Amino acid sequence: MPHFVWSSEYELGIPVIDAQHKRIIEYINRIDDVLSNDTSQEAMNAILTNLVDYTFSHLAFEEAMLEEIGYEDFHGHQLTHKTFTRLIENLCHRARQGEPVAAELAAFLRNWLLTHIMSEDARYVEAVHEYLLGNEAGRRRYWLHKTVTRYFQ
């Protein structure tokens, strides 16, 4: 699978979220490198673990943000994350059993993420801007910094 080149069309205009999405794509590209370089299964498992950990932290952060702003479709959004998480956990389980699932996991995660950004994520942008980033947000902006530290340290 060739590297995916990030493009501004996938940017939501919420810097903290865009940075996380880009980082997930970078992890996925790293899997492609490992696949084409015939690295050990151990190295691949380490990369998969990092990718999955980071992705799950991102989803948890996003849910905390949507809950914080009182997003009207919070539960619907959370449900799409849950369904996705279950599928990823299933792939991880297969990886632990020794199945070579890296390419499948990378392709699935990439397709899911890009589709999710353009559909479900795009729908919360206005609400986030209004509540956390807009002129009236004031001290609420601080919440983002504080919460990023909590989820990504």
Residue 147 structure tokens: 């919460």
Residue 35 or 127 with smaller CB distance to Fe ion: 127
Distance between CA atoms of residues 6 and 56, nearest Å: 20
CB of 79 to Fe ion, least distance (A): 11
| One-letter identity of residue 64 | A
CB of 58 to Fe ion, least distance (A): 8
Site for Fe ion, rule CB under 5 A: 62, 121
Three-class secondary structure of residue 149 per DSSP = helix
Spell out the alpha helix ranges (H) of 38-100: 41-68, 74-96
CB of 5 to Fe ion, least distance (A): 22
CA 63 to each of CA 8, 19, 30: distance values in angstroms, whole numbers, following the listed order: 23, 16, 26
CB of 110 to Fe ion, least distance (A): 15
Residue 32 or 62 with smaller CB distance to Fe ion: 62
Three-class secondary structure of residue 13 per DSSP = coil
Residue 21 or 102 with smaller CB distance to Fe ion: 21
Residue 15 or 100 with smaller CB distance to Fe ion: 15
Three-class secondary structure of residue 70 per DSSP = coil
